Amino acid sequence: MSKKWLKVDLHIHTREDPKDNITYNAFELIARAASLGFDAIAITNHNRITLNSELKDEASKLNLILIPGTEVNCEGRHVLVLNPPFNPSQRKLTWFDLEAMRTDDSLIIAPHPYFPGFKSLFQLLDKYNHLFDAIEFSAFYNNFFNPNIKAIEASQKYSKPLIASSDAHNLWQLGTSFTLVEAERSGKDIIQAIKKNRIKICSRPLQLMTMARIMTNFILADKFKLPLHI
């Protein structure tokens, strides 16, 4: 098989997420991703792997690769784990557990490491940088507020690939930030290509009103437990 530039997004949430109130389900996400020309996505609900035979079949019909993943809570901080060797939802994770999940076939990403919030890594990315395969270029930024500047610096400092993803909680967010990966059409080869930094990030700054819209959604979901649909 020949390598091609594949359009991927490895940080997306759906209604099946046990933490956030989201209006669209995994099947609707698959349809939307396929319509936008994505080659591969990862559904990364909080502390849960959302993947089954029905979702795989639906994705296959639309020529879309589903990479198993989850956004885990590791000692109070969020970490993205793609293709984990065991189900991380079955235990309370520590940094030692995260190290045990580092295999040739898995991918561990530092998501939105400097996004203002209690779940972001901040200085812990420095302390545990050896556990991460890549650092996320967050979709949440504009020309005046850009926490990705520190993410870029960390990527360069620790020689880690920088990948862009949407962290979508609304279908309209899909496509705002994504990564092109030079790989064969398989989840395993995509992961290996990212580790080898055969990637290009594609992202654009958000309008201020769009950022306000996203933050309003988060407040509604976290404080009032209302569905994310604005």
How far is it, in rounded angstroms, from Cα 16 to Cα 172?
18
Asked whether residue 66 is domain-assigned, the answer is: yes
Asked whether residue 56 is domain-assigned, the answer is: yes
Local confidence pLDDT in tens for the 230 residues of the chain: 688 999 999 999 999 999 888 999 999 999 999 999 999 999 999 999 999 999 999 999 999 999 999 999 999 999 999 999 988 876 789 999 999 999 999 999 999 999 988 899 999 999 999 999 999 999 999 999 999 999 999 999 999 999 999 999 999 999 999 999 999 999 999 999 999 999 999 999 999 899 888 888 777 765 455 554 44
Give the predicted TM-score (pTM) of the model: 0.93
Strand partners, 180: 7, 200
- Looking up residue 38, the CATH number of its domain turns out to be 3.20.20.140
Question: Residues 40, 64: contact at Cβ < 8 Å?
Answer: yes
How far is it, in rounded angstroms, from Cα 129 to Cα 3?
29
In angstroms, the Cα distances linking 194 to 63, 136, 200 are 21, 12, 10
Dihedrals phi, psi of 133, to nearest 5 degrees: -90, -25
Asked whether residue 230 is domain-assigned, the answer is: no
Question: How many domains does the chain contain in total?
Answer: 1
pLDDT of residue 13: 97
Asked whether residue 30 is domain-assigned, the answer is: yes
R_g of the chain computed on alpha carbons: 16
Domain that holds residue 72: 4-224
pLDDT of residue 132: 98
Asked whether residue 121 is domain-assigned, the answer is: yes
CA atoms within 13 Å, Cβ hemisphere of 94 = 1
Asked whether residue 229 is domain-assigned, the answer is: no
